[in-house]
Every structure is written in structure tokens, then in C-alpha cells.
Structure 1
Amino acid sequence: MLNGGMKWMFLILGTMIGAGYASGRELWQFFGHESVLAIALFTVMFSICCYVIMKISYETQSSHYLPILERLVGKKLTGLYDLLIILYLFTTTIVMFAGGGATMEVLHFPYWIGIGVLAILVVVLFFWDINGMLSMNAIILPLLIILLLAVLLLFIKSNVNAMLFDWMKQSNWPAAFTFTALNILPLVAVLSAVGHQIKHKGEILIASIGSGVILGGLSFLYNQSLIQVAHDLLVYEIPLFAILKSYPYYMVLIMSFLLWTAIYTTAVSGVFGLTARFRDMVNLPLWIIALIIVTVMIPFTTFGFSTLVAFLYPLYGVLNLYILASILIFPVLKRYDLLS
């Protein structure tokens, strides 16, 4: 049960910790000053959402997200959210590829080299279907989290003011709802695809609470660090490098690798959500479906990483508020038999 719970926890973290999150761009877009309460609310809501989605997936033994959407938003809205999930996964995975290119630029490689290498590695992983992705997450995610946590703690140690905040000034608390809503659709898409592989209800509890606590704690430390370098963020495409500006160059290299692996895990999750949706509609090997999807995505990366994050993420955060509300009230409706 513990191993299963950890496996799904890393799947959730791999879906969440991508280019936008690991770079700091997504956190700064939603949080920033006076956001400690917002991050606490996000932690609780995120854990609840993961639990509800996984529990429905387990009960329906789902292999893609359509049955889950029907339970959450009803048959009338399922078609709309099906289209929205496809669009979301498509556009946010483009953001991952753009982030891969931006990361390689920091190391003085051409933008297109970073995108091309990332695209090839994403497609290759699908030769092993979902097992390849789960194995990759189990190896990469613990290392990624430990490295990011170490950098943030070292930065906070040298900036003691980073941990100071006023509980009476938490005006940004509504950002918790849009930030959680932003990340709902990929969770629905990815977790719905593994419902038939969940063996025990205990796995759901471990995965949902574990991922919520890790993400909440990491988000708090990251946001408090970004506040200390807020004046530099306008000149950095990737906010993480504003934190690293006084560090030795080898730290920049290590964190560039960390960021790139975070981008990779989320790009894989996005493509997996799309392939799971379409694999029953086309009689093709999974890696070929992935290759087609990735090939269509690449031309759209010309818009640039920060531009895509700044425009798309707040937009999706607002559009997803309805499905967030549906997930949060689902246990109440089910308990009192109010579901149609």
C-alpha cells in the first residue's frame, strides 16, 4: 500500500512540478506578497481534490478522464470540459517545451536545441507506456525535490528576513482558488488514466495528503525566497535564476538540470493525458500517437516561455473554478445523495 501510494504521489508531483512551478514563474504569477494564507488554503484544497479525483477513478476503474468528468460536472458539461482539457494539456505542454528551450539558453545553447532534445526524450519514454513514466517519476522526482529544497533553505539561511510575514496582512488569499483551479485539469486527465491500476484505497490517502503537504511546504519556501528578490524578477525570464545570481556557476548548472528535469516530467504527463484520451480512437502504438502530438506542438513554442505562462495560466485558473467547486463539494453531494 505504501509503495503504491508513493508511486501515485510522485505521479501527482511530476504533473505539478513543471516549467511554470519549478522556475518560480507560476508561483510569482499567483502569489507573491501577503500570500502565506493563500498557500495554506491551496495545500488543503489540493489534497482534497487529489483524493476526490483518485477515489472516483478507483471506483470507476477508469483508463481516461471522460467517466470522471461525467461524475463531476454532469453529462451536459462533459463535452465542454473534454475540449477544455484537450486544449489545456496541449497548450501547457507547449509551455513545457518553451521552458526547455529557455533553460538551455541560460547555458548558451540555442533555444531550438533544448526543445528538440526534450521532444525526443518525451516520445522515447512512451515505448514503455505508463510504466516508463512511473519509473521515471520515481527516480527523478525525489532528487528534484531534494535539490530544490536545499537551494531554497540555503537562500533563506542567508536571508533571515525571508521567513518574516504578518498574519494580519494576507490580502492575496483569493489566489488560492485560482492557483488550485489552474492545476485541476491536468490532475483530472492524468489521475483518471490510472484508476484501473490503483489497488487499495489507502494508496489514495497517502498520495493525496503526501503530495499536498510537499507542494504546500515547497511553495511557501519558494514564495518567501522570491519576495526577497522581487526587484530583480523583471529582468529574469526564469525567476529561479534571480535567487541563484550570487551563487557559484556550478549551482546554476545543477539547478538548470533540475529545472529541465521538472519540465520533462510535466511534458511527459501532459502528453500522457492526451494519448490516454485518444488511444482508444486510433489503432496506433502509444509512442506514435505521442510523436504526432509533439510534432504538432513544437511550432507554437515560438511565443516564448514567460509570455505563454503570463497569458495562459491566469486564464485557465479562472475557467477551471467551476470544476474546482464541483470537486470540493462532491463528497458532500455524494454523502447526502444529491448527485443525479
Structure 2
Amino acid sequence: MRLAVILSVALAYVGTVVGAGFASGQEIWQFFSRFGSPGMMGIIISSGVFSIVGAIALEKGRQGITDFGHLLSNVYSPNMARMGEGMTDVFLLLGLIVVIAGGGSTLSNFHVNPWIGKIFTLAIILYVGYWGVDGITKANGVIVPYLILITLLTSVLSPLPSSLALDAREPGAWLLSAVLYVSYNLFTAVMVLLGLGSKLHSSREAWYAATLGGVILGLLLTLEHHVLVGLSHVNDLPMLTVAYRINTHLGIFYALSLWLALLTTGIGIVFVLRERYGKRYLVGLWIVLAFTQWSFQALVKNLYPVMGSLAIMLWLPLFVSSRGADNRH
């Protein structure tokens, strides 16, 4: 068994999910922590689903189904499949807008002009994404361990939460919220995993890589949840605010990790677009800069739940498609 390959794929999986709203704390607050202690149940369920669906996606990719459009065509009618592909393009571009907006906001903490920060963030993402599988695995192999370390430090050093109470006005809402969270994040991750599946030699490797990725994601979710449930006020970048309150130097390192985490999601998006349209079209992605003027918090709060609801139809074919590998060989 090739442990190095399994680890690299697992970290690339984590990096694709951990990004814009995740590292900032906004995603975790909106989908889990605002429900109090039941949010932890949502995290446990999410971690399990990430492992299972991730393994299926890697196995499909290992069998040769690297084209997401082909996967959709096995389940939906030609018109529905084309609509689904159009939706994926829109979602990917919206996700990239969130990443670039967050990058500009984060780098402003280093006294960088927000627009310069956005331009620099997009330039790095396009450069790494241009190199395909090698780019995404090497970048996440460095960024994700750093993110785990800095999130762990922030969680351990933050004050204990004062209370973990269920919001009685929303019984059961935590479960729906967890489903939407997984659905949205699997949207991009599934397409990345289909491409990464070619690096694996067996179903066992696929399951090990996906399970490890799910466990790491569950750990990061839990660490951030521990911090966020104790906050009386949640701003645009709550985890960064907490880190700065603990120690200025920790805040600086967390700001760097937040920016790096944003890069990983952006790299995953560009990787998918590169695989679909080719490297030469990536230059057209500079147009997303024109749509990054909205608040980062508003983008996460308003776009993510809607995208999560619609994205369910895009990753469900993993469970019902059976002709993909046969049609490719």
C-alpha cells in the first residue's frame, strides 16, 4: 500500500473542502455552531458522509470516469445533463468569487490594499491550478498540515464556551443544515476527486484516502465549533478575531493560514475548470474580479445554502450511476 499517495490524496480532498467560509469560521457558524450542542451531531454526520461519498468518487475516478458531465449523462436526460453541467460552471464561478473576495479581505489584515490582495490571490490560484494534479497535491501537502496546526492552537488556547444550548425555535434544523453543508462542499470536491482517482491503484486505497480525509475534516470542524459556540458575537472573520484576541502573533499566523486555506479551494475550482476546458481558457477567469465587491459574510450566508440545495442533484449520480466505467473502455 502506498501511504504517501493515500496521504497526498486525502490532504487534497481536505484542501478542496477547507477554504473560503471554512477557515474563517463563517461556514461552521452558519451550518453548525449557531445551533449549539446539536451542531456537534451535524459535524459527526458530515464527517461520515464526506468519507463515504469521497471513497465512491475516488473509485469512480480510478475506474476511468474523470468527466463529471459523463457521470451526469448516465442518470439524467441529455437536456437535464447539459443543464447540470451549466449549473456546475455557475457554481464553480460563484465559489471562486467567494474565495477571491475572502482573499482580499484576509490580506487587508497585512495592510495590503483589498484589490491588490484579490489580484494576488487569483494570480497564485491560477498559477498552481495550471499544473493540474501535481499542483493541487503539492500545494495541499504543505497548506493543510499548517492549517491543522494553527486551528488546533487557536482552539486549545481559546476560552471555554459558556453554554451549549439547543435553539428550541429550530428543532431538527441542525440536521438539514448539515446536509446542505455537505452537499455544497461535495459539489466541487467530487469533481476534484474524480480527477485524483487516477493516482490510486485499488479500492482499498480509495477508501483509506477518503476515510482519512473525512476524519481530518471532522477534526477541523470540531476544533472550530469548540471556539465558535463560545462567542457572543460573530463577525465577518470570527476565527481570525479569536486568534488575535489570544495573541497578536497567533493572529498573524492564523491570518496567513486563512489566506492559504482560501487558496486551496480556489485551486480545486481552477483544477476542475482546467480539466473541463483546457489550460488556455484559464486566463478568462480574471473576469471574476468584477464580482468580488460584495461582503464576504453576505456571500457565505446567502449563496452557500442555495448552492447546497441545488448541488444535491449533481453528486447523487455517484450512487446510482453504473455504466460509467464500462462506457469508457
Residues 126, 290 of structure 1: 8 Å contact kept: no
**Cα separation, 2, equivalents of 1:133 and 1:5:** 14
**Cα separation, 1, equivalents of 2:130 and 2:32:** 38
- Amino acid aligned to 1:263: L
- Is 1:264 aligned to 2:263, yes or no? yes
Residues 184, 307 of structure 2: 8 Å contact kept: yes
Q: Deviations over 1:87-130 (max 9, x none)?
A: 11111011000000010122332111111111221222245333
- Amino acid aligned to 1:104: L
Q: Deviations over 1:158-205 (max 9, x none)?
A: 41657x678x98752222211111112102221222333332222211
- Amino acid aligned to 2:293: T
Match of 2:201 in 1: 199
Choose from 152, 155, 159 the match for 2:155: 152
Match of 2:144 in 1: 141
Match of 2:13 in 1: 12
The alpha carbon displacement at 1:305 in A equals 1.2
- Is 1:322 aligned to 2:309, yes or no? no
The TM-score, its normalising length taken from structure 1, stands at 0.85
Residues 73, 323 of structure 1: 8 Å contact kept: no
Structure 1 unmatched runs, 5+: 280-285, 335-340
**Cα separation, 2, equivalents of 1:3 and 1:217:** 21
**Cα separation, 2, equivalents of 1:135 and 1:79:** 33
Residues 102, 262 of structure 2: 8 Å contact kept: yes
The TM-score, its normalising length taken from structure 2, stands at 0.88
- Is 1:85 aligned to 2:88, yes or no? yes
Structure 2 unmatched runs, 5+: 324-329
Q: Deviations over 1:125-155 (max 9, x none)?
A: 2453331221111122112212212211222
Choose from 51, 73, 81 the match for 2:55: 51
**Cα separation, 2, equivalents of 1:161 and 1:210:** 32
- Amino acid aligned to 2:270: V
CA RMSD of aligned residues (A): 2.4
Match of 2:300 in 1: 309
Choose from 44, 62, 70 the match for 2:73: 70
- Amino acid aligned to 1:103: T
Equivalent positions of 1:111-260 (< 5 A) are 111-126=114-129, 128-155=131-158, 158-159=159-160, 161=162, 172-229=174-231, 231-233=232-234, 236-260=235-259
The sequence identity of aligned pairs, in percent, is 24
Match of 2:327 in 1: none
1:126–1:43 distance in 2 versus 1, CA, 3 Å: closer
**Cα separation, 2, equivalents of 1:49 and 1:278:** 25
Secondary structure at 2:126's aligned position in 1? Answer: helix
The alpha carbon displacement at 1:312 in A equals 0.9
Secondary structure at 2:175's aligned position in 1? Answer: coil
**Cα separation, 1, equivalents of 2:162 and 2:74:** 46
Residues 68, 188 of structure 1: 8 Å contact kept: no
Residues 137, 265 of structure 1: 8 Å contact kept: yes
1:64–1:325 distance in 2 versus 1, CA, 3 Å: closer
Residues 244, 252 of structure 2: 8 Å contact kept: no
**Cα separation, 1, equivalents of 2:254 and 2:31:** 22
**Cα separation, 2, equivalents of 1:200 and 1:161:** 47
